[in-house]
Amino acid sequence: MKCILNCRFSKVVSAGALVFAVSALAVAQTPPGANAGVPPPPTSSGNAPAPVQTRIPLDRAIELALQHNHSLLAARSTIDQNRAEEITANLRPNPVVTWDALFLPVFSPSSFTSQYVENSAEFDLGVSYLIERGKKRQHRLQAARDQTAQSAATVADNERTIAANVAQQFIGALLAEANLELARMDLEGFQNTVQISQARYQAGDIGEGDLLKIKLQLLQFQMDLNSAQLAKVQALANLRALVGFESIPENYDVDGELEYQPVHLNLDDLKLLGLRNRADYRAAQLGVTAAQSQLTLAQAVGKRDLTAAVDYTHVSGINGLSFIFNIELPIFTRNQGEIARARAGVNQAQENRSASSETVLTDVTNAYENLRTNDEVMTLYNSGYLQQSQQSRDISQYAYQRGAASLLDYLDAERSYRATQLAYRQALASYMLALEQLRQAVGTRSLP
C-alpha cells in the first residue's frame, strides 16, 4: 500500500514538473501551434480602438447636463414666459380718444357752408380713461410674480431630477467599465489556462475530451467580453443623451470607479433636510401662495371700475366741456364664479402641499432603508466572501494546472469566482445608486 501511494505521488510530481517546464518554455518562447484554437480577444471594429480624448467626472457631467440638457432648457423657458406675463400684468389701461362730427349735410351739398358748420353742425372731441378699483393692477402683478416663483421652483425640481438621472447613468457606465475590465482579465487568465492545457495534452497528461471542454469554456469568456463592451457603449450613449450631445465628444469616457464609502446618517435629520431642500415641496408651498393671490385678484375683479371722460363740444356756435363718469352697478355680476373657483384652487393647493410633504418623507425613508440594506450587503462582501472566492479559484487553478485537481472542480471554482466578482460589482453599483437616491430624496448632493 505504501509503495502504491509513493508511486502515484511520484507520477503526479513528475507530471507537474513536466507541465511547469513546458509552461516556462511557452513563456520564454512561444512554440508554433501553442495557441492553436485560441482566438484573440475580439474588438468592436477589428482595428485598434480610437484613443479616448476626454474623461468626465460625475460632477462635471452633472454640470454639463444642467447647462445643455434640452428638456431642462425648454422647462427654463417657462420662467421667462412668466416674467413676460408680469410685464403684462403691470400695464395700466390705455386712455381712449373719441371724435365725432354730427349733422353734416352730406346729401345736400349746397347747404354745406361755413355758417351752417358754425351754427348747425356739431363736433365732439373727448378723452376717457378707465380707473381700476380694488387695486387690480397690484394684485395682477403679485399673482404673476407668485406664478413665476412657483415655476422657478418647478424648474429647480427638474434640475434635481436631471442630476439624479445623470448620476444613475454615470454609475451604470462605471459598472459597465468594471465588468468590461473583469471580462478582459478573466479572458486573459483563461487563455493562459488553455495554453497550459494544450501543453499538457501534447505531453499526454490529459485527454482530448478535457482539452475540448477547456476550449469550449473559452467561448463563454469571449461572449462575456462582447456583452460587457456593448453594455459600456450603451451606457455612454445614454449618458451623453442626458448631458447633451454637443457638450462632449463622441469618444469620451467616464472618470471614476466603483467604490464603497460608508455613510452614517440619522433618519430624522434627513427628513428635516428633505423638507427644507426639496424643490417640489417648495413648489407646492409656493402653489398655495399663488392660489391665494389668484383668490385676492378674483375678489378685486369683482369690484366695478370707473370710467371718467372729458368731452369738448362745438354746437350752435357754442364751445362747451362735458365731464362724464360711468360705473357699472354690481347687482347681478360680481365675479362670483371666479371667486368660488379661486377658493377651491386654494383648497387644492393646500392638499397638494400636504401630499408633497408626505411624498418627501416617504422618499427619504425608502432611500434611507435602501442605503442601509445595501450597506449591509457590502459589509458581507468585505467580511471575507470576496477574498475567499478568489482564493478558491486560485487554489483550484493551481492544482488543475499541476494535475492535482479535476477539470470539473476547476471550472466550478472559476464560475463561482466570476459570479461572485460580478455580484460584488453589482452590489457596489447598487450601493452607489442607493446613495444617489438618498441625495435625490433630500434634495441636495451635500449630505451631513
Q: Are 367 and 437 in contact (CB under 8 A)?
A: yes
Give the helix/strand (H/E) hosting 447: none
Q: pTM (2 decimals)?
A: 0.75
pLDDT value of position 17 = 38
Range with the lowest mean pLDDT among 49-53, 142-146, 353-357?
Answer: 49-53
Closest C-alpha among 418, 431, 338 to residue 378:
431
Q: Are 131 and 305 in contact (CB under 8 A)?
A: yes
Q: Using 50, 70 and 90 to split pLDDT, how confident is the model at 51? A: low
Task: Indicate the fold that domain 53-442 takes in CATH.
Answer: Outer membrane efflux proteins (OEP) (1.20.1600)
pLDDT value of position 29 = 35
Between CA 200 and CA 407 the distance in angstroms is 13
State pLDDT tens for residues 73-110.
999 999 999 999 999 999 999 999 999 999 888 888 88
Residue with cell 445614454: 238
Residue with cell 495534452: 201
Confidence check: pLDDT of 30 > 70: no
pLDDT value of position 226 = 93
Closest C-alpha among 438, 78, 57, 21 to residue 270:
438
Residues 6+ apart with CB under 8 A from 245: none
- Give the residue extent of every domain in the chain: 53-442
Residue 30 has phi, psi (to 5 degrees) of -70, 115
The CA angle 432-434-440, to the nearest 5 degrees, is: 105
Confidence check: pLDDT of 56 > 80: yes
Q: Using 50, 70 and 90 to split pLDDT, how confident is the model at 220? A: confident
Of residues 8 and 261, which shows the higher confidence score?
A: 261
Confidence check: pLDDT of 42 > 60: no
Q: Mean pLDDT over all residues of the chain?
A: 84
